[in-house]
Each structure stands twice: as C-alpha cells, then as structure tokens.
Amino acid sequence: MLEIIVEQTEQYTLCRPVGELDAYTVGQFRDALAELASTQRLLIDLSDVPFMDSSGLGALIGGIRRAREADGDVTVACSRPTLTRLLHTTGFDRIVAVADTVEAAAAALLDPVD
C-alpha cells in the first residue's frame, strides 16, 4: 500500500510517498507526479519509501521530466542509505539534486547552483 502526502508551503510543494514504490503502486505515484507537473518548485521526499524498484525510478524520472518541461524546479530528499545508493549508482543524482534531509533539499531548490 502506498500513501502520497502532498503539502503546500509558501515556497514549494512537498510530495511525500509513504510505502513501497514498485510495479503495484507506481501508477498511483505516477498520477500524483502528473498532477504536480505544473508546480513551480517541487520537493519529492523519499524518506518514507523503504523500497523502490525500476518502475518507481522510472516514474520518478518521468515526473521530473514533466515538471521541467513546464519550467519547474525539482529536488529530492532521501534519508535512506539503500535508496540514496540506488539514486547515485543509477546516475539519478546527475539530473536532479538529491539531499539527505528535506531542509537541505529545500535549500537546493530555493537557491539552485547553476
């Protein structure tokens, strides 16, 4: 089961999936990211995702692509070492900033380094 929490702050929209991102739940995650594609600043917090397979990674990349096509900025927060390792190993961190905390990801989102 996957729960997706979306919170609006004054400076960005926070999308926090809670649960596993796999072939069974990826559609829900993909739909949520599609709804948020027009968001100016999107922070995706993966800290409550204990497992993500290739379909989850694909949905994440697709959501980021859609947001960027709409001239939005995206960062990812992830405090789980196994997931962070996956994001680094696949080169995901070369297309979007990945930080250990929501606060660090928000800082990167609000003050991007070009």
> Does pLDDT of 37 surpass 70?
yes
Q: Report domain extents, the chain.
A: 3-110
Number of helices (H), then strands (E), belonging to the chain: the values are 4, 5
3-state SS class at 49? coil
Which residues are CB-contacts of 103 (< 8 A; sequence separation ≥ 6)? none
Domain spanning 3-110: CATH 3.30.750.24: yes
State the average pLDDT over residues 92-112.
92
Closest CA to 76 of 34, 89, 63, 53: 63
Confidence band, pLDDT 50/70/90 cuts, at residue 59: very high
Predicted local confidence at residue 65, as pLDDT: 93
> Does pLDDT of 114 surpass 80?
no
Predicted local confidence at residue 113, as pLDDT: 65
- Tens digits of residue pLDDT in 8-30: 999 999 999 999 999 999 999 99
